[in-house]
Structure 1
């Protein structure tokens, strides 16, 4: 029998957690004050059932995908975004033990089709749900291709301490050993747990809990496709989140960006380094109206000698260059391999190209100054 949570409030700041499997509570966890891997914080008023109220927002993706399993086709041959959020929830009966779950279908698309318009729509809807007294947390079912981008955007713009959890699947529901049901169950378990409050947007995949600040998709097909350079924040163990790291950079309620004040995102281009590069790709972004360009450089953000004058020229023309690394881990240090001060460019610290694009766009909603953009990258 599966595990579920029972939460009993002791005071306004203390919650006792018991985990049961139909017989007896697990004594190894003990009361909150004896649980080293969690910080217990009380959430909003519970429903009459005593369970947390979790809103599940469907947006499509592989978790909502289906294929013809009878024809022996590989799991990679399927149609994304065909199963509704209600059906996903109905397929995981154990959810009813964890929370009172309500589903809504905001989008039904492949996450590769996400644009800034869908990002803004999603963030506004999530915040609208979070301000409700009858919602204790939000779970978003999402395609894995751009999940890390949606998660990071919510991490920076959704001003709520309530848990915001994204999950998806690497295999459609019709595949042998589909991972979507377990991922959804674990995502709701994390969103329903009081220790998840105030941790920013989270990604739950393959029993791991990652911060939106760090996580990236690093494999095209494996179930452990998501990873963070410094490891996950925690794990889902027997249906309960155990925390081992904390988020230190500002997010959600401490972020200076607020979706309520953002009508649109400025266009920011991304150019990934390779041998024999040409300046025309940068010029094309400028012609398209890009207000900044992310240069995903070699190693620590290295710029080839033949491109250094080009990037300096673009900065002088009012199109800031943000240097990050195409590697996916490790910091880009200001003025190390490239004279950022002389060129007027920005060093992105350890932000990968997709997150650097989003942070640069958000920075441009507040200021056109390169110094201000560098401050923002240093802070977030």
Structure 2
């Protein structure tokens, strides 16, 4: 069965005629929302993990590839999109969070799995975690090897994600990322390696749990990221443009000026070290922030806390790509004039 990419059509089709992989009513009901990515990728060479076509397989094929799902769940599938995650965009993110909320509110599932490409998985996961306000768990599944590769990791990642989404222990834990037998928080987990299957890590915060076969084992009771905000985007069709600029020796401040003059409503700078900036950049960033176009300093190092500063906004625990998602949502809700309020979103310990 194929599903329309329209949110209304998707909801009607899946709730009326959901693709079911298991009919045992005693099993948890899990809705798999497929967006594409390597997990749905194919290649003519089974020994190659590059040069494949992402998003070649539909959600039906993903479910059929894991027949053991019928032992742990009653699965339905929704084909939301079928793209490489480098082509994910804000419009799709807004539709995706509305769809997930719709599935949760409809009562047709006990948990949700979203399959996704790894390149921008952490951004989608964080966006969902900030805009999805239901207790029904969401597990994000992905793969580092295409489905046609020897020892492809996608099928088992889907299996564990379905087990997690169907677990009562997973409720009220926010959006989670599942790869390589690990369970990570959407807010802090990030891709750290271009090829390795254990690429997704949270260097400072650690994992939420692991799997014992298909059983998720959590290290902590259900908890929320400290003062994690919720942004209601149910009536939102577009978000403010926020650019990311990369810091380096000889970085030209004209890049920041151009970004703002060409329409950016906010800017995140992936700075060197502890988010340091050349004097000219720091002056320009402060000036734009005072004009209501917030400039946030993050670090390009990959991990570590960026402390508040007197002259510019800083990203706290968030890397540049996650800081961009948060700034978009804050700007949409509050605008860019109140820099003190914006800083409190990045560093809630201040409030």
**Matching residue of 2:326:** 359
Partner of 1:375: 344
Rounded to whole Å, the distance in 1 between the matches of 2:62 and 2:226 is 33
Q: Structure 1 residue 238: deviation in Å? A: 1.3
- The answer as to whether partners of 1:158 and 1:259 remain within 8 angstroms in 2 is no
**Which of the residues 24, 39, 58 maps onto 2:34?**
58
The 1:352/1:247 distance shift into structure 2, 3 A limit, reads farther
Q: Which is worse superposed, 285-294 or 107-116?
A: 285-294
TM-score, scaled to structure 1: 0.82
Q: Which residue of 2 aligns with 1:10?
A: none
Q: Secondary structure at the match of 2:99?
A: helix
Q: Contact 1:211/1:247 (CA < 8 Å) preserved in 2?
A: no
SS in 1 for 2:57: coil
TM-score by length of 2: 0.88
Secondary structure of the structure 2 residue equivalent to 1:322: strand
2:43 to 57, 67, 79: 67
State the structure with more CA Rg.
Answer: 1
Task: Give 1:99-248 correspondences, 5 Å limit.
Answer: 99-229=73-203, 230-245=205-220, 247-248=223-224
Distance 2:38 2:282 in 1: 41
Q: What 5-or-longer segments of structure 1 have no aligned partner?
A: 1-46
Could you give the per-residue CA deviations for residues 49-92 of structure 1, whole angstroms, max 9, x where no partner exists? 2111100011000000000026x6x2212111010011110010
Distance 2:328 2:153 in 1: 34
For residues 295 and 61 of structure 1, what CA distance do their matches in structure 2 show? Answer: 27
After TM superposition, the runs of 4+ consecutive aligned structure 1 residues lying more than 4 A away are none
Q: For residue 48 of structure 1, report the CA deviation from its aligned partner.
A: 6.1
Secondary structure in 2 aligned to 1:259?
A: coil
The alignment of Structure 1 onto Structure 2 pairs a total of residues equal to 323
CA distance in 1, matches of 2:267, 2:188: 21
Query: Partners of 2:223 and 2:314 in 1: how far apart?
Result: 21
The CA distance in 2 between the partners of 1:306 and 1:123, in whole Å, is: 39
Q: CA deviation at 1:250?
A: 5.4
Shift of 1:128: 0.8
Deviation (angstroms), 1:244:
1.3
- SS of 2:196's equivalent in the other structure is coil
Identify which of 253, 260, 264 aligns with 2:238: 264
The 1:376/1:327 distance shift into structure 2, 3 A limit, reads: same
Change (3 A) 1:118 1:250: farther
The CA RMSD over aligned residues, in Å, is 1.7
